[in-house]
Amino acid sequence: MLSISRQALQRLPLYLNYLKSLPPGTVNISATAIAQALGQGDVQVRKDLAAVSDRGRPKVGYDTHGLIRDIEEFLGYDNVDTAVIVGAGNLGRALLCYDGFSTYGLDIVAAFDADYTRQGVLENGKQIFPVSRLGELCERMKVKIGIITVPAAAAQKVCDTMIEAGVLAVWNFSPVRLTVPAGVLVQDENMAVSLAVLSQHLAEKLRESEEDAV
C-alpha cells in the first residue's frame, strides 16, 4: 500500500458513501465509474484507491464489497474508538444524541459539563458527568479521542486535562486555536468556513444577476 495525503484521506469517505449507495447487485466497479459519478478526476480516484486496496483488476475494476471493506479498514471504521465530549450544551448534546457515529467506528461513551443542571442521564442512556471527573474517567476508560464543545474561554484548559489523561486526538468545535504537545492531533471543525463559501457564492450570483438586469 502507498502512503496517502490528507486530501486523499478526506476523499475516502466520499467514495465509501457512493459505493454503499450502489444497488446490491453491483459486483464490480471501476475507478472511472466512481470518478464520473462523483465529478472527480479519473487519475486521482485511481491513485486514491490504489493506496488503500490492491483488488483493482484491469478491465474489470474493483470487487465492490471488497473495496468497501478495504476503505473501511483503512479508515478504522471496522474497530471502534471511544470518545468523550466536554460541554453538554446545544452542540455537545446534539453530537451525543447522534447514533450515526457508530458507522464511522466512533463511540461517544460519555459527556462532561461544569453546570450541574446539565449533568445526568440522557434518553439514549448516555451519561453527562461533572467535569471534575474528566481526567479520572478518561484514564479509566482509556479514551483516546476528546471532543470539545465548550465556550472558547474554557477550551484550552479542557484540552490540557484531556491530554494529561491520555487523549491523543482532539475534535475541536470551539473557535480557538488549541496548543497541544507533539504527537497529539487537533482537528478543528468550523461551520463558519463552510458558511463563508456559501455566502461568497451567493454574493457572486446576486451580483451577476444585478449586472444582467442593467
Ligand X SMILES: NC(=O)c1ccc[n+]([C@@H]2O[C@H](COP(=O)([O-])OP(=O)(O)OC[C@H]3O[C@@H](n4cnc5c(N)ncnc54)[C@H](O)[C@@H]3O)[C@@H](O)[C@H]2O)c1
Q: What residues are designated binding site?
A: 87-92
Q: Which amino acid is at 36?
A: Q
| Minimum distance, C-beta of residue 89 to ligand X, in the bound complex (Å) | 2
**CB distance 126 to 108 below 8 Å:** yes
Taking the C-alpha atoms of residue 170 and residue 173, their distance in angstroms, rounded to an integer, is 9
Residue nearest to ligand X (CB): 89
**CB distance 163 to 184 below 8 Å:** yes
Query: Taking the C-alpha atoms of 142, 186, 152 and 138 in order, what is their torsion angle to the nearest 10 degrees?
Result: 0
Residue from 158, 162, 163, 167 touching ligand X (CB under 6 A): that is 158
Is 91 a binding residue for ligand X by CB under 6 A? The answer is: yes
**CB distance 130 to 116 below 8 Å:** yes
Residue from 15, 52, 87, 170 touching ligand X (CB under 6 A): that is 87
214: CB partners within 8 A, 6+ apart: none
Residue from 149, 159, 163, 165 touching ligand X (CB under 6 A): that is 149
Is 152 a binding residue for ligand X by CB under 6 A? The answer is: yes
Is 114 a binding residue for ligand X by CB under 6 A? The answer is: yes
Residue from 17, 102, 187, 190 touching ligand X (CB under 6 A): that is 190
Residue from 8, 34, 71, 88 touching ligand X (CB under 6 A): that is 88
Is 189 a binding residue for ligand X by CB under 6 A? The answer is: yes
Is 135 a binding residue for ligand X by CB under 6 A? The answer is: no
Is 90 a binding residue for ligand X by CB under 6 A? The answer is: yes
Of all helices (H) and strands (E), which one includes residue 78? Answer: none
Closer CB to ligand X, residue 70 or residue 113?
Answer: 113
Is 131 a binding residue for ligand X by CB under 6 A? The answer is: yes
Q: How many residues does the chain have?
A: 214
C-alpha distances (whole Å) from 184 to each of 110, 164, 181 are 21, 11, 6
Closer CB to ligand X, residue 56 or residue 89?
Answer: 89
* Residues touching ligand X, count (CB under 6 A): 25
Taking the C-alpha atoms of residue 149 and residue 27, their distance in angstroms, rounded to an integer, is 42
Binding positions for ligand X, rule: CB under 6 A: 86-92, 112-115, 118, 131, 149-152, 154, 158, 173-175, 189-191
